[in-house]
Amino acid sequence: MLLQVLTACTFTNTSNETNEKKAMKKKSNPVVYFEIPVQDIDRAIHFYTAVFDFKFEKTTIDHYEMALFPFEAPQAGISGALAKGEVYKPSKEGVIIYFSTDDIEATLKKVLANNGKVLYPKTSNGDLGFVAEFEDSEGNRIALHQAVESY
């Protein structure tokens, strides 16, 4: 299942790759994709659209409902999906995904306005910027990062 999504999100033409592109691939970040477990895909889409203004592409992969996050190659960063199915269990434990924002306080207000909860308020992370954590509409712990220059 993951391989199908990764293939859909990867735009590589190996026959025309330059040495520079090949070198960049070797230096790229090791994380390439994530899935956020959901119980109600439409509720989760509404939440993430209201909080971050994301536009999702709904699809079914291996009989699992998915809503793919926006992805524009060759932009920096990774992409992922909201994922519904018996193998997906929302949780505040385990891996924490960080979303970038220009204004953590404004984002947390949107979280609260859309039935989310603040779990960890905006906190300075020194030269690295600011962080915060919230619980989404599905019960997942999600984090925010605001770079120093955005403050």
Q: Which pTM value belongs to this model?
A: 0.80
Residue 6: predicted pLDDT: 42
Domain residue spans of the chain = 2-10+31-150
Greatest CA separation found in the chain?
A: 49
Beta carbons of 97 and 146 less than 8 angstroms apart: no
The DSSP result for 21-56, as a single string, is: HHHHHHHS-S--EEEEEES-HHHHHHHHHHHH----
pLDDT of residue 23: 55
**CB of 110 closer than 8 Å to CB of 51:** yes
Residue range 2-10+31-150 forms a domain whose CATH class is alpha beta
What string of pLDDT tens digits covers the 151 residues of the chain? 443 444 444 444 445 556 665 555 566 678 889 999 999 999 999 999 999 999 999 999 999 999 999 988 887 788 999 999 999 999 999 999 999 999 999 999 999 999 999 999 999 999 999 999 999 999 999 999 999 975 4
